[in-house]
Amino acid sequence: MSKLGFIGLGIMGKPMAAHLIAAGHQVFLTTLNAVPAALTAAGGVACASAQEVAQRADVIFLMLPDTPDVAQVLFGAQGVAAGLTDVQHAPDGSAGKTVVDMSSIAPMDTKVFAQKINALGCDYLDAPVSGGEVGAKAASLTIMVGGPQAAFERVQPLFELMGKNITLVGGNGDGQTCKVANQIIVALNIAAVGEALLFASKAGADPAKVRAALMGGFASSRILEVHGERMIKRTFDPGFRIKLHQKDLGLALQGARELGLALPQTAGAAQLMQVCAANGMAEQDHSALVKALELMGHHAVAGD
């Protein structure tokens, strides 16, 4: 049994922490609001702050919305770094402690965060995930890791409790870079599926039958399978919110500017998501991007 910490118990973090508890680990928990009763009933230990979690755990997981949130939880008052510092000055030291950020945040900021945690004598892994709420609940997440090989190998058995496809991409920041690349691909695929189904529907074809036919050909994809069905059935309850995908595409475009790259299709997808957000859909699933296309085309793929 390991002493673990988990900070951030939202749509994704709650089931991820639950898997660690179910595996028999002692898990110290904190989040912005109250720690879910289901987690404490299962054996999780509620803590008053991120600092307390860091003091009590050997591996500390973070699952937070954005870069500023991670910065605050790591280095703000009663943050993780304060807990690591306290332990470092204790007789047993902080050797072996590892901070694992599973949020999706800016790669360059991640490198700075890692350097600061390393300066406290602790390891740092950036390990963003793909798979959404469904993958979090099923423990089938794809986990993209950046950081030292030795730290990765220590934490890998814990990753395997939360995900299936687990890859050490490279050094600190490379996991986040991989996640940004993932979000570019996902956004462009959602836009492509949305355009295809909108075209089919406007032309008078049954979009459900068009989707079924396409699923047997070269155009088949996980996005067509899952999000294409959402577009047809109008089920936009969030597995991954538009506002979070907006954030990720913002990271992609910010990185592109820094690298001197043009990402025109990514910029277009970001604008479609902005149309949705401007029309009150920021909390809907990112498959609702199709609604921006529908607004411009004065036609819906299917009736709500």
**Are the C-beta atoms of residues 156 and 166 closer than 8 Å to each other?**
yes
**Are the C-beta atoms of residues 230 and 301 closer than 8 Å to each other?**
no
For the annotated catalytic residues, the residue numbers are: 179
CA 104 from chain centre, in angstroms, equals 5
Q: Give Rg (Cα) of the chain.
A: 21
E-assigned strand segments in the chain: 3-7, 26-30, 45-46, 59-62, 98-101, 123-126, 129-130, 141-146, 163-170
Q: Report the candidate in 100, 138, 269, 131 with the shortest Cα–Cα distance to residue 192.
A: 269
CA 91 from chain centre, in angstroms, equals 36
Point out which residues pair with 62 in neighbouring strands: 7, 101
User: How far is residue 239 from each of residues 99, 115, 130, 136, 233, measured CA to CA in Å?
Assistant: 26, 33, 11, 10, 15
